[in-house]
Structure 1
Amino acid sequence: MKEVTLTLADERATVAMGKQIADITKQLNLDNLLVFLNGDLGAGKTTLTRGFVQGMGHKGNVKSPTYTLVEPYELLPWHVYHFDLYRLSDPEELEYMGIRDYFALKSCSFIEWPEKGAGILPQEDLIIDLQYNNNQRLITLLAATSQGEQIINLITN
């Protein structure tokens, strides 16, 4: 599958990348989107997601779901969910919270620490890795589906 690595100069560029992914999602009129986010603490996973949520039309704050596990945003016709599975001790806990209900039509889900939900989470469309690079960030986007590949193609064009 397709992969691209880009440099993000600062927090503003990270938010802008999230907004660009939101714009592409709307442009392609995707039925749903599942993004796995990888990176160390503070690497920009929540910042990228904030850009996406704002790009989908949210006007308020976008907070990390570290303690709540999921933050939902109803942005009709879209349902955007930001998951942070860092505190999850067993993937089965996702079944108890009805995780499958979150992946309905017109849903976009960004999942931090997806490895904690292994075996329960559905196939991701896009894997995004964020890494420190001095004062900047490196972002690597890897398509896991044709939908993810479409997004990368539009980002790199």
Structure 2
Amino acid sequence: MTETFLSDDAATARFGAQLATQLVAGDIVSLEGDLGAGKTAMARAIIRALADDPTLEVPSPTFAIVQPYDTPRGPVWHADLYRLADAAEVDELGLFDDPEAIILVEWAARVPEVETAASLVVALDIPPGGMGRTVRVTRRG
């Protein structure tokens, strides 16, 4: 596990871009943290880096639940499981249908099957005082 302090959104974007270089086809990344901790900002930075497009529109998938992207590194799926009414609904999303996809999942803990499958956990916290954020990265397996 590594822990890093990110002072602002620009530092978060740089960290996400660097993290993207380490991802491989089939990786499932669990983005963890409270509301406002920076899960979507981190996902946005990773997706833009994988797409090699710093201006790519990357909306939060809160309402769509899953947003797919075609990138030079292969398919990337960004999922937000916060609004799932039941963990069984994840089967309908097809998150595990493409073994070549890199999957970024916010609120993976809402679906134990997804949380267990995560090969990388990126935990974000807002430190006391509310300035910046702390990120802890753990690779499993």
Both proteins in one fold, TM over 0.5: yes
User: Structure 2: which 5+ residue stretches go unaligned?
Assistant: none
Deviation string, structure 1 residues 16-59 (Cα, Å, up to 9, x no partner)? 1110011223xxxx232111011111111011111111111253
Instruction: Please report the TM-score for the alignment, with normalisation by the length of structure 2.
Output: 0.89
Which residue pairs with 2:109 in the alignment? 115
Secondary structure in 2 aligned to 1:32?
Answer: coil
Which residue pairs with 1:91 in the alignment? 87
Aligned-CA RMSD value: 1.6
Which residue pairs with 2:96 in the alignment? 100
Q: Aligned-pair distance for 1:77?
A: 4.4
Poorly superposed stretches of 4+, deviation over 6 Å: none
CA contact (8 A) 2:30 2:115 kept: no
Secondary structure in 1 aligned to 2:125?
Answer: strand
- Identical amino acids, percent of aligned pairs: 30
Which residue pairs with 1:9 in the alignment? 7
User: Structure 1: which 5+ residue stretches go unaligned?
Assistant: 146-157
Out of 39, 44, 56, the position equivalent to 1:45 is: 39
Aligned residues: 137
CA contact (8 A) 2:30 2:105 kept: yes
Which residue pairs with 1:140 in the alignment? 136
Q: Where do 1:49-68 residues align within 5 Å? A: 49-57=43-51, 59=53, 60-68=56-64
Instruction: Please report the TM-score for the alignment, with normalisation by the length of structure 1.
Output: 0.80
